[in-house]
Amino acid sequence: MAETIHHIPLWYLPLLVILPIAALWAGVTGLRKTARKKTAADRDPDWSVPPLADQSQSGSFLHKWDVRCKIVTIVVFSFVVASLGHLAAALAAVALSLSVAVMIKVPAARLMLRLLALAGFLGMLLVVMPFTVPVHPGDTLVVFGGVEWLTLNFRGLLLASTIAARAVAIAMLMEPLLSTAPLPVTLHGLCRLGVPEMAAQMVLLSNRYVHVFSHEARRMSAGMQVRGFRKRTDTATLRTVANFLGMLFVRSFERTERVFDAMRARGYQDRFPEPVNLRLCASDLLICLAWLAAAAALVVWDRIIL
């Protein structure tokens, strides 16, 4: 079976390719700004408080679900989604993830921020892949005005959309996975699943100090701006930013020493106290089974029926 080739004039190129890209780019930038504004407004301005433990909507089944079941189920489901091969199956996974996110009432702005973080990489795939995938028999091609190297291949577009759908489906599960329990509880669940306790402690500590250091960095850059520093494309900017980084490292390394000394002075011995007592009950396993059954159904649909 030979490939189908459609010839269309070159002036369609801006209409069909460049215009959508520009619209997408403008939309993403605009949405990112509004989403950032919204999340910044309802958040505590003190960044030293980690924002992950969202207690405002505690009551859904995901909040009550045993944290170990939740982690195992969502991780397994993510890998299943990553293995889906057809666009329809991947879109079904997106619908499933979206319904979970809606069910536990994730704030739309936070969900949007997570998806927008993906936009750069996925946008690159969506733009590049239709023009670069090798031509296979049976492909549908669009040639713009006889320019041979500028050939749009629909198989590439389909492939890139499938990847984008898989990425979106997994990204939308991050909020249900992480914001339905305080981070220490999630990490405790991970430890009970066999992750070394030290790893969990390191995540907890660095999550805490990311906020402290970003506060520090913001103060330093405010000071630089007050003194008239503006970022440009030149070596002076590079040198200044490097000094800024160096200062950030010096300050934070010194702080690290003090934090560590303080922890040891309070009797830290490789352990934090356990945040909760976990107990497994039948309903936890039932939700787990139902979700994994949905995953299995997706795989069957993807591999056998489609």
Residues 127-146 contacting another protein, CB under 8 A: 128-129, 131-134
Q: Does 239 bind another protein (CB under 8 A)?
A: yes
Give the whole-angstrom CA distance, residue 210 versus residue 204: 10
Please work out the total of residues on this chain that contact another protein, with binding judged by CB under 8 A. 81
Question: 110: closest CA among 61, 183, 56, 70?
Answer: 56
Give the whole-angstrom CA distance, residue 154 versus residue 217: 46
Identify which of residues 44 and 253 has a Cβ nearer to another protein in the complex: 253
Identify which of residues 68 and 166 has a Cβ nearer to another protein in the complex: 166
Tokens of 178: 């992480």
Contacts to another protein from residues 218-237, by CB under 8 A? 231-233, 235, 237
Q: β-strands 140-144, 151-153: how paired?
A: antiparallel
Nearest distance, CB of residue 16 and another protein, angstroms: 19
C-beta separation of 286 from 65 below 8 A: no
Q: Does 109 bind another protein (CB under 8 A)?
A: no
Contacts to another protein from residues 169-188, by CB under 8 A? 169-171, 174, 178, 183
Question: 244: closest CA among 218, 264, 269, 280?
Answer: 218
Identify which of residues 200 and 288 has a Cβ nearer to another protein in the complex: 200
Identify which of residues 116 and 288 has a Cβ nearer to another protein in the complex: 116
Identify which of residues 144 and 162 has a Cβ nearer to another protein in the complex: 162
Nearest distance, CB of residue 279 and another protein, angstroms: 26
Q: What is the largest CA-CA distance in the chain?
A: 75
C-beta separation of 188 from 68 below 8 A: no
Residue of 24, 217, 278, 299 interacting with another protein (CB under 8 A) = 217
140 bridge partner residues: 4
Q: Does 249 bind another protein (CB under 8 A)?
A: yes
Residue of 67, 89, 90, 100 interacting with another protein (CB under 8 A) = 90
DSSP H stretches of helix in 67-107? 67-82, 87-103
Q: Does 53 bind another protein (CB under 8 A)?
A: no
